[in-house]
Structure 1
Amino acid sequence: MTSPAPLRVVQWTTGNVARKTLRSVLARPDLELVGCYAWSADKVGQDAALLCRLDEPCGIRATDDAEALLALAPDCVIYTPLHPDVEELSRILRSGANVVTSAEFLTGHSLPAGSREALEAAAREGGASLFGSGMNPGFAQLLGAVATGVCQEVRKITMHESVDVSAYASDSNMDGMGWGRPMDDPGHAADVEAASVVFADGVHMLAATLGIELDEVRCHVGFAATTKDLDLPGRPIAAGTMAGLDLRWVGVVNGGEVLDLHQRWVMTRHLEPAMPVEHGYKVEVEGSPNVTLNFGLMPDQPLDTLTVEDMHGIGMTITGLPVLNAVRHVVAARPGIVTYADIPVPTGPAAWTLAGGKS
Structure 2
Amino acid sequence: MSSTDRVRVFQVATGNLGTELIGRIREHPDLELVGLHCYSPEKVGRDAGEIVGIGPIGVLATGTVEEIVAAEPDVLTFHGVFPDEELYVRVLEAGIDVVTTADWITGFHRDRNHPHPSGRKASEVIQAACERGGSTFYGTGMNPGLCQILGIVHSADVAEIENVTVTESVDVSCHHSVDTWKAVGYGLPADDPSIPDSLYRYTAVFADSVYLMADAFDLELDEVTFSYDLGVCTEDVDLGWYRLPKGSLGGSYIKYQGLVDGVPRVESHLEWQMTPHTDPSLDIKGCYITQVTGDPSIYSKHMIFPKPGVDLSDPASFAKIGMTVTGLPALNAIRSVVAARPGIITSADLPLRSFAGRFRI
Q: TM-score range by the shorter chain?
A: over 0.9
Question: Take 1:304 and 1:128, find their aligned partners in 2: how far apart are those partners?
Answer: 42
Aligned to 2:89: 90
Match of 1:68 in 2: 67
Summarize the alignment of residues 127-276 of structure 1 with structure 2, pairs less than 5 Å apart: 127-134=134-141, 136-168=143-175, 170-276=177-283
**Deviation at residue 245 of structure 1 after TM alignment:** 0.6
1:319-346 CA distance string (max 9 Å, x none): 1111011000000111111111001132
Contact 1:164 1:267 in 2 (8 A): yes
Q: Does the 8 A contact of 1:134 with 1:322 survive in 2?
A: no
Quick one: which amino acid aligns to residue 9 of structure 2?
V
TM-score (norm 1): 0.92
State the Cα distance separating 1:349 from its structure 2 match.
Answer: 5.0
Partner of 1:321: 328
Assess if the C-alpha contact under 8 Å between 2:312 and 2:318 holds in 1: no
Distance 1:148 1:349, change over 3 A: closer
Matched, 1:293 2:300: yes
- Aligned-pair CA distance for 1:282: 0.3
**Residues 177 and 202 (structure 1 numbering): CA distance in 2 closer, same or farther, change over 3 Å?**
same
User: TM (normalized to structure 2)?
Assistant: 0.92
In structure 1, what residue type is equivalent to 2:14? T
**CA distance, structure 2, for counterparts of residue 80 and residue 174 of structure 1:** 17
* SS in structure 1 of the partner of residue 128 of structure 2: helix
Greater Cα offset, 174-183 or 246-255: 174-183
Match of 1:332 among 316, 319, 339: 339
Task: State the one-letter code of the partner of 1:121.
Answer: A
Q: Give, in whole Å, the separation in 1 of the partners of 2:176 and 2:207.
A: 23
Q: Distance in 2 between matches of 1:29 and 1:166?
A: 32
Amino acid at match of 1:266: Q
Whole-Å Cα distance in 1 between the matches of residues 197 and 331 of structure 2? 33
113-122 vs 172-181, which deviates more?
A: 172-181
Q: Deviations over 1:248-291 (max 9, x none)?
A: 11112222111111111112222222321111110000111101
**Contact 1:101 1:323 (C-alpha < 8 Å) held by counterparts:** yes
Asked whether 1:307 is paired with 2:306, we answer no
8 Å Cα contact 2:101/2:145 also seen in 1: no
CA contact (8 A) 1:134 1:323 kept: no
The RMSD of aligned alpha carbons is 1.8
Work out the percentage of aligned pairs sharing the same amino acid.
36
C-alpha separation in 1, matches of 2:312 and 2:231: 31
Cα deviation 1:293-352 (Å, max 9, x = unaligned): 110011114465531111111111111111011000000111111111001132455442
Secondary structure of the residue aligned to 2:237 is: coil
- Report the number of matched residues: 351
Separation (CA, whole Å) in 2 of partners of 1:305 and 1:258: 37
| Cα distance in 1 between the residues matched to 2:276 and 2:328 | 30
Q: Structure 1 residues 159, 233: CA separation in 2 closer, same or farther (over 3 Å shift)?
A: same
